[in-house]
Structure 1
Amino acid sequence: MTNLREKRNSIGSVAGLVFISAGILFATGDATYRPLLILLPVFGTLLLIIFRDSWINKNVLSSSPFVFVGLISYTWYLWHWPLLSIARNLNGGNLPNYPTCFFLLLIGLALSLFSYFIIETPIRKKAITKKLTISLSICVFCCTLLGLLVQSLDGFPGRLGDSAAAALSSKNTFPKQNKYAKVKYGCPADLEFCWAPENSQPSLALIGDSHAHHLAFGLQKNWGKQFLLIGHPGTPPVKGIISLKHEKSSKQPLMSKALDTVINDPDIKTVVLSARWHYFVNSKKGDFQLLDYKNDSNLITLGKLLSQTISELIMHKKKVIVVLDVPQIPLNPKNCIKSRPLQTTAGNCTFQEDQRRNNDAKINEMIGKVAKNFSSVTVVDASKAICDQGICSVGDGVNSIYYHDDNHLTNKGSDLVVSKILQQGKF
């Protein structure tokens, strides 16, 4: 009976170590979003606790070196975060090489030993007095207050030059809607984009998702004429697609309503269709509801619906311009700006165009084929403003960044993209 219990304990503890090791070996940068992977070390630890009487637990994990590491492990964990964060900031937003990171972990170990023996242990052994409690409480309160202050001020922009501070705070500030447009065009309450200049009679409609909205600033600044912005996030500007993530009711296809508004307005002569096209093409089942072509691939479905939408627009005597999307960038645009006094590099502001063509090549090819069927349709490639000779830029590294996340343009980016499109005489 004893031998059976020992075997069971040994098998259980070995299994626990295997689960913990698997959690470490298979961990990647996206581990946070993989709950099953996170459960591996949790389950492994549970097994070690359940089979605590095993030989491994008593003779290995309970040995002095392991116990000592356990004593300082949390302190070591707390120290390693600021060290790696500072190193990343000084290296333009990227972690340094592995030897440097390993060296920083050793520094973290030294600091954890110092804080454990010089700070934690003496405080633990010291009698808890009212004076000590009040002193520590004041320290914690001051640290909390300082953290809240930094958060409320969004950091300390004064440490930067004016141009760098302005670049890091860059966003797309163009309004999404106004009362005049909502009343004039009868936009549904749920339709997020519905804007036009006060008392205007636009001859151009910019319609689409947030990738239409992020062009509006540049269009207003550079075009000099009145236009209508209309559409809804997460939905391509075609009829027959409902975004279940972004529309409250599947009974009212908002993009179809927006297109009907444009189609039925005789004053609108030009329609610009712009979207994050691959958002629909790469979507998963359940993200969208289709009114037709339910058995086709998303790419084929988009092509058919785009063709139908363009046909209806042309039938109502509209000139159609389709905008191919800007590249989705593989880096944090804010790291392009040198924003720390000790930062050794401004970070990487460019990437190879090939890195994003895999996402968009088939979509752009499909849109091109659809457009060739209509003589009055123009296709413009917004990425040409960002990319040149195979290299794409997210900013100038000094004063400007063109993106405020991995796919949306800032005001500066919108200005750059639309101005270059207009230089080609496309609108």
Structure 2
Amino acid sequence: MNNQNHMDLWKIVVVALVSALLGTGIGYFAFSHWGNSNPSPAGQVTNGSGKAGTTQISNVTVKSHNQMTTAFKKVKGSVVSVVNYQREQKSDDSLSALFGSLYGNGNGNSDNNSGSSNKSKLQESSEGSGLIYSKQDGHAYVVTNNHVVAGSEKLEVILSDGNKVSAKKVGTDAITDLAVLSIAADKVKSVAHFGNSDAVNPGETVIAIGSPLGSKYATSVTEGIISAKNRTVDTTDESSGQVTGQATVLQTDTAINPGNSGGPLVNVAGQVIGINSMKLASSTDGTSVEGMGFAIPSNEVVKIINQLVQNGKIERPQLGIKVVDLDQVPSSQQRSILKLPENVTEGVLVGSTSADSVARKAGLRKYDVIVSINDKKIKNIADLHTKLYSYAVGDTIKVQFYRDGKLQSVDVKLTKTT
């Protein structure tokens, strides 16, 4: 190796050493500077010399703001708890009274005035949620579910700030499961606004606000998505369990628990797009179900609550008949008595017609089997109610029915419900 090569080698070694020293110095300086001026990143083990028991809270704070927290802040002040008070029925029988006292039994129907029971003082029967949506002329209006206030003898609303105020029923509607209450407006500081439920899309993020398990957990918020829109579910009569109709609802996987009923379903803009009404806990075969809650769409809610405020009730058309599902009639009688063709297996059997009813005036009578309204097929009572209620009082509809095995039709002018 010549001298020139030796010189080049030494240059490389010197440059490498200088670079290493500079790199070490810079690295050490940077590490020392970071360690002296900033706390250790979360989760990093520090080379601390502190004693055990001297752990401290980091001085780094996180301020997280997103659309849903903003939406929650817009609506939470207008969400309330609704308390239903009823009288406990106490039996004169001492044994029944004893067990009723021990097990909290006896939150019976307040209409039970039999001589064997005495009315006691009012006590809390149930709690649900509600939403303040309007404030006018010294009154604030609250929308909630009909089943939240059903059977009540006294109603109380707990505002989001904890203030308790008495409430009065303005109107209720069992068909849509909606009710409107009024309260004094002097303590009301926030009013919610409705959005267009027709514009909702599956996959859209939403939150539910309410009082699951009662006012102890008031203004609880859960988040999820819209699972489906325009979902059709059966509605039932609470006393008989009979399916009375069908409702078109929003489906969501947002957690809906007992007590959330009557509370709002809210979109990212802080608009109320539905009123939470029910959840599906199990399927018809008993399979456990999670994440299937339902809300009454805001467009339907607004239509109903406006009528309740204006009229105190919902006027729907009626035929004035008592009916039963055709599939409840034995097939042998369908052929021998009703004389139905074999291909007719669905419909509604007329059991009777009321005096002066539009059905009787139009010519409908006992044992007629209604199969369509305005050429829309009627499969059962739920179908009949749903299609009938889609028309207004004063409308004329064509009812098709079988009588003695022959298909016939009549025009019926609808009157209001009685």
TM (normalized to structure 1)? 0.22
Bigger share in strand: 2
Bigger share in helix: 1
Tell which has more relative contact order, 1 or 2 (C-alpha 8 A, sep 6+).
Answer: 1
Whichever of the two has the greater Rg, that structure is 2
